[in-house]
Chain A
Amino acid sequence: MSDDPHLTGLPGMIVHDVIVPARAPWLHHVAAGQTLRIVDLEGNQAVDFLLYATQDDAERYSAQDTVAAQGNLFLREGTVLRSNEGRPMMTITATSVDYHDTIGGACSCESNTLRYGHHTKAEHACVENFLEANLQEGRGKRDIVSNINFFMNVPVEQDGALGIVDGISAPGLSVDLRAEMDVTVVVSNCPQINNPCNGFNPTPVRMIVSA
């Protein structure tokens, strides 16, 4: 048994364990039955997350199918992450944060010009990471859809007001995802520095896969 607190409760053997640097992309194939744990090492770090069916990557995570199926916008323990064809891709089996976001999308150079001004156009952004990672496997811009933002908080007020507000995460908090099919996970460790999603300071996250 390891005394590494980040491994506590993970089922099976560790088959992959890596630290994704601040601001960086990550791509990994997770087999059906394996569990991916994402650890927010320093706290307040948004992890932008996409999924593709490894056997047929035109099937991919669908935020809309996921929230419609559960009748709720927030991703919590027990949430089934569904594909654009309605099939279960992964299940959130544990989370030390109450809920995660899937309506806020990913930051991009282009949307940054709208949200903050054209002076932010050249800053690194999640869509740049998604593109870089997906291009390795022949996917491109058409393959980027509404994503999950683990550890990100986007409340919706009664009048519809919504926004990315201060994080609900803290150092060492984690989320576990069990693969329901063979999936390709594409992550952007969010580099955004213009809103509170990363505490204005992007930090590393740890990715652990157990089988």
Chain B
Amino acid sequence: MTASLTNPAANPLANPLAARDHARAMAGTRVEAMPMLPPAADDLPADVAADDLLWEETIAPGGYATRRIARGARLRLIDLQGDACASMLLFNAEMPSERLNVADTVKVQWNAYLGAGKLLLSDMGRVLASIVEDEAGTHDAFCGTSNAATNAAKYGEGGNSGPHPNGRDRFLLGAAKHGLGRRDVHPCVNLFKGATIAADGAIIPQIGPFAAGRRVMLRMEMDVIVILANCPHVLDPRTDWTITPLRATAWRGAVTPEGDPIRNATPEGQRAFQNVEDYFRR
């Protein structure tokens, strides 16, 4: 465009108002992966009022999204086309040094696999979120996400600016938007892509592709920062970088009551909820 730089009259966007009009003309564009503001969804559960909707966003293949979500709110994730991988970090929003602890999550619950009724525990003995519904059954608390080196090895390149973004670099950008950094990107869980463990310790990835539209619903048990990265599972065996859009929807909900069956399902979980309730006793 050297010619237009030397001859402004030849460039229709050479003055600020023209540039403004050009920018404004984009308004109203709809693409597949974008947030809806204000949020709107035509498939909310019957008992959820439209004005309780907090967040509606479709996260691109290779994209990420992050948001603060209040205690009691529900976060519904949908694997729209069957090949999403929701790698997730969770922090206590008011004290982000408290974060998801995958080791405590599996150890305290005496089980390796995530699913309906399971708790996502912090490193402070509290429940950050509960999995209240799960249509997928294929999740993973062990493998973590990809990084620049693993993507470079598999796809030839793996940075944020290229065609094959990796999960860790997505997490780093998401963390940075809350003032967090490299020390804060902790071990994650992967939803929709799974891993089972054989007796000899071998990791058996469950990569799919799966049926379109599988859903997972989380209930936030504390005020959290969630960071979602939607990149291929680190053990995805396919040589092509393969990932499809992930939809996130959140709405307000009641704080978990004392009689809640998930709260009371195990003595360990019950004490984790007691620790949450004690934290909010102020």
A64–B187 touching, CB < 8 Å: yes
B144–A64 touching, CB < 8 Å: yes
Which one of B28-36, B46-54, B120-128 contacts A?
B120-128
B111–A106 touching, CB < 8 Å: no
A140 to B101, CA, bound (A): 16
A112 to B234, CA, bound (A): 32
B271–A114 touching, CB < 8 Å: yes
Q: Write the nearest CB–CB distance from B229 to chain A, whole angstroms.
A: 13
**Known interface pairs A85-B149, A162-B106, A162-B111. Does A72 touch B203 (Cβ–Cβ under 8 Å)?**
yes
B108–A160 touching, CB < 8 Å: no
B: number of interface residues (CB 8 Å):
48
Asked whether any CB of chain A lies closer than 8 Å to the CB of B251, the reply is no
Asked whether any CB of chain A lies closer than 8 Å to the CB of B102, the reply is yes
A: number of interface residues (CB 8 Å):
51
Task: Enumerate chain A residues within 8 angstroms of B112, measured Cβ to Cβ.
Answer: 103, 156, 160-162
Asked whether any CB of chain B lies closer than 8 Å to the CB of A65, the reply is yes
A143–B183 touching, CB < 8 Å: yes
A6 to B149, CA, bound (A): 38
A108 to B272, CA, bound (A): 13
Within 8 A of A (CB), among B100-154: 101-104, 106-108, 110-113, 121, 123-126, 142-145, 147-150
A108 to B185, CA, bound (A): 20
Asked whether any CB of chain A lies closer than 8 Å to the CB of B215, the reply is no
Task: Enumerate chain A residues within 8 angstroms of B103, measured Cβ to Cβ.
Answer: 63, 103-106, 146-147
B141-169 interface mask toward A, CB cutoff 8 Å, 1 = contact, 0 = none?
Answer: 01111011110000000000000000010
B257-274 interface mask toward A, CB cutoff 8 Å, 1 = contact, 0 = none?
Answer: 000000000001101100
A105–B104 touching, CB < 8 Å: yes
Question: What are 17 pairs between A and B in contact, CB < 8 Å?
Answer: A59-B182, A65-B144, A67-B142, A67-B143, A71-B235, A72-B200, A73-B197, A73-B203, A85-B168, A103-B107, A111-B104, A127-B123, A144-B123, A160-B111, A160-B112, A162-B110, A162-B112
Residues of B within 8 A of A (CB): 97, 101-104, 106-108, 110-113, 121, 123-126, 142-145, 147-150, 168, 181-188, 196-197, 199-203, 234-235, 268-269, 271-272, 275
